[in-house]
């Protein structure tokens, strides 16, 4: 099956002439260069190389489409035209039969659908590459939706992943330019994401946790998960009512306060990232709905929590300081933070890095601040740092992708959205809680009980530490004395060897002076022989270890 799949991929690559994506100056092995040369004799499609890649991925099926969608978020690795083209990828997946979904549901839950649910619609509500969704009603009348994993999709995913790893390995082995894209790491990242989407128990756990964070907040609603009906391949959730965030006309038709809605989205994002450290990382319009029951105070509804992101405390701090420094146009601080955080190598020249950041970021301030894109700022910073060997962490890429989604959605809802105006008070409040007096109080409140518990042990701990330090000093002194004695022994042994070698050289010279004239050699031959013996002696005495 894999051979057949490889042949199909090869045919698509040839027909779409994807060799055009290989840079002309790329250094390839001789055999591969010959194959590329032969391939370039084939007719050239009318589409651009980027468009041809998108069409090829759509032709190869939903798993490759999903991989292309993930790849489109890696703007730190791709050219802008290629990333824009991949962003246009759409999953056009026909649904599988509803009766088959019913059979999967009964097999997973171990009972007939008629005994578990009051109603079950065999006609799917939505269909995607990994799963499809059906409407149903519980026995108590609660409306729900049931997400069912496609039958056999796990086998297809594993086979396609093997092919993707093979292709990534070829790119990594044969192309210096391709190696810069870290293809194996990209495929590995995709494997983690797709594996998470295939495990609906993981999505259920993420949904439950996100719901707990926002329960009764009046800002973000997360549907209830019915855990008793949830399995690895089946997820049952509360059915929601609302408009998709992309339905701008519908939102206007219901007189929704668009400014409030856009600013609320920004607040939710920053709260998820900096306070909860648990952010929904797939918030495109298809996963974000709007509750318009109160048009003056609309709220968001989050769906599909398969992909969740989080940052380390250090990354959160450095990210916040970076954003604040950027909007203050303190590029030296931005450069310093990148180096201090370890995002770029420690030996990076601070002044050179600052100059490059300034040249990239200053143009953003040529337009009104309401038009400055946070997502594009992060992208510019990451792309600039890449020139200095910055390794972009997966969690930062997820954050950038989410920020671009949130910002794009916010500007679509309310074009005059000033993201910094909304974010600045939040960021300043958050930073004040991290540092200064308020930060100290918070740290004490969090860690105070543990510190108080340790107070009675402090004298013992201090005494033990002093004893350990004294012991270490004594051991260090003893080791120094041993090393000094060992060095003296080594030096004495070297002197003895040198004396032995000197004696050997003198002995050789004496033998030469006695033997060579006696054997009747000419004077010049005697001189040459003595020189050779002398050279051997010098080598033996001074060079040979």
Q: Which range is most confident: 194-208, 399-413, 421-435?
A: 194-208
**Residue written as token pair 């070829």:** 170
Q: Is 449 left (phi over 0), alpha (psi -120 to 50) or beta?
A: alpha
CB distance 14 to 39 below 8 Å: yes
What is the chain's mean pLDDT, rounded?
78
Residue 532 CB-half CA count within 13 A: 8
Higher pLDDT, 61 or 113: 113
Return the pLDDT at 315: 82
Whole-Å CA distances, 500 to 494, 496, 511, 532, 536: 10, 6, 16, 19, 14
Distance CA(477)–CA(466), nearest Å, equals: 17
**Tokens standing for residue 224:** 């209830």
Return the pLDDT at 308: 87
Nearest to 263 by CA among 35, 443, 456, 420: 420
The conformation of residue 225, written as its DSSP 8-state character, comes to B
Return the pLDDT at 393: 64
Return the pLDDT at 73: 65
Return the pLDDT at 58: 83
Burial class (CB in 10 A: 0-12, 13-18, 19+), 529: middle
**Could you write out the three-class secondary structure of 327-356?**
HCCCHHHHHHHHHHCCCCCCCCCHHHHHHH
Q: Which range is most confident: 218-227, 301-310, 376-385, 510-519?
A: 218-227
Candidates 84, 177, 247, 282; catalytic one:
282
Count the helix, strand and coil residues of the chain and give each as a percent rounded to the nearest 5: 65, 10, 25
Of 81-85, 225-229, 398-402, 521-525, the one with minimum mean pLDDT is 521-525
Distance CA(458)–CA(444), nearest Å, equals: 17
Return the pLDDT at 346: 84
The conformation of residue 151, written as its DSSP 8-state character, comes to T
The conformation of residue 219, written as its DSSP 8-state character, comes to S
Return the pLDDT at 538: 40
Concerning whether 247 is annotated as a catalytic residue, the answer is no
How many other CB atoms are found less than 10 A from the CB of residue 246?
17
Asked whether residue 409 carries a pLDDT value surpassing 60, the answer given is yes
Ramachandran angles phi, psi of 290, nearest 5°: -120, 130
Asked whether residue 130 carries a pLDDT value surpassing 80, the answer given is yes
Burial class (CB in 10 A: 0-12, 13-18, 19+), 195: middle
Asked whether residue 352 carries a pLDDT value surpassing 70, the answer given is yes
Residue 489 CB-half CA count within 13 A: 6
Q: What is the DSSP string of 160-214?
A: HHHHHHHHHHHHHHH-HHHHHT-HHHHHHHHHHHHHHHH-HHHHHHHHHHHHHHH
Q: What is the DSSP string of 9-33?
A: HHHHHHHHTGGGGS-TT----HHHH
| Band of residue 272 on the pLDDT scale cut at 50, 70, 90 | very high
Summarised one tens digit per residue, pLDDT across range 475-488 is: 766 667 777 777 77
Helix (H, G, I), strand (E, B) or coil at 496: helix
Return the pLDDT at 468: 67
CB distance 325 to 333 below 8 Å: yes
Nearest to 36 by CA among 20, 50, 49, 52: 20
**Tokens standing for residue 144:** 């729900």
Return the pLDDT at 530: 46
């Amino acid at each position: 099956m894999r051979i057949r799949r490889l042949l199909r991929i090869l045919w698509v690559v040839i027909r779409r002439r994807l060799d055009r994506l290989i840079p002309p100056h790329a250094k390839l092995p001789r055999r591969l260069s010959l194959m590329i040369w032969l391939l370039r004799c084939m007719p050239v499609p009318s589409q651009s190389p980027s468009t041809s890649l998108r069409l090829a991925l759509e032709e190869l099926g939903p798993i490759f489409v999903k991989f292309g969608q993930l790849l489109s978020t890696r703007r730190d690795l791709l050219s802008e035209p290629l990333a824009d083209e991949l962003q246009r990828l759409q999953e056009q997946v026909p649904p599988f039969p509803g009766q088959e979904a019913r059979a999967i549901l009964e097999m997973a839950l171990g009972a007939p659908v008629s005994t578990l649910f009051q109603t079950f619609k065999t006609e799917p509500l939505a269909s995607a590459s990994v799963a499809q969704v059906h409407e149903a009603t519980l026995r108590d009348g609660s409306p729900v939706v049931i997400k069912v994993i496609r039958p056999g999709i796990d086998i297809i995913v594993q086979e396609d992943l093997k092919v993707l790893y093979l292709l990534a390995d070829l790119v990594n082995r044969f192309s210096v330019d391709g190696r810069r894209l870290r293809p194996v790491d990209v495929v590995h990242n995709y494997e983690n994401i797709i594996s998470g989407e295939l495990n609906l128990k993981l999505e259920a756990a993420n949904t439950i946790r996100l719901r707990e964070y926002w329960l009764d907040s009046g800002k973000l609603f997360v549907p209830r998960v019915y855990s008793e009906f949830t399995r690895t391949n089946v997820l049952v959730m509360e059915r929601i009512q609302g408009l998709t965030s992309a339905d701008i006309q519908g939102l206007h038709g219901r007189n929704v306060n668009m400014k409030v809605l856009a600013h609320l989205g920004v607040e939710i994002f920053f709260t998820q990232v900096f306070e909860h450290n648990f952010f929904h990382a797939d918030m495109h319009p298809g996963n974000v709905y709007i509750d318009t029951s109160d048009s003056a105070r609309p709220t968001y509804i989050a769906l599909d929590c398969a992909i969740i992101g989080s940052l380390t405390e250090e990354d959160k701090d450095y990210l916040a300081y970076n954003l604040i420094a950027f909007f203050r146009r303190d590029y030296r601080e931005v450069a310093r933070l990148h180096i201090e955080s370890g995002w770029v190598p420690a030996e990076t020249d601070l002044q050179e890095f600052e100059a490059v950041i300034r040249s990239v970021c200053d143009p953003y301030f040529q337009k009104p601040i309401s038009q400055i894109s946070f997502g594009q700022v992060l992208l510019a910073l990451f792309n600039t740092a890449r020139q200095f060997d910055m390794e972009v962490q997966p969690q930062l890429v997820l954050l950038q992708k989410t920020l671009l989604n949130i910002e794009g959605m916010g500007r679509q809802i309310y074009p005059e959205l000033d993201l910094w105006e909304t974010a600045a008070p939040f960021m300043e409040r958050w930073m004040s809680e991290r540092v200064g007096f308020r930060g100290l109080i918070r740290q004490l409140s969090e860690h105070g009980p543990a510190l108080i518990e340790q107070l009675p042990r402090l004298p013992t701990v201090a005494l033990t530490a002093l004893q350990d330090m004294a012991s270490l000093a004594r051991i260090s002194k003893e080791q120094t004395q041993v090393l000094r004695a060992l060095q003296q022994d080594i030096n004495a042994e070297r002197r003895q060897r040198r004396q032995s070698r000197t004696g050997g050289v003198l002995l050789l010279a004496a033998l030469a002076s006695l033997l060579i004239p006696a054997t009747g050699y000419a004077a010049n031959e005697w001189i040459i022989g003595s020189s050779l013996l002398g050279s051997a002696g010098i080598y033996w005495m001074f060079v040979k270890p």
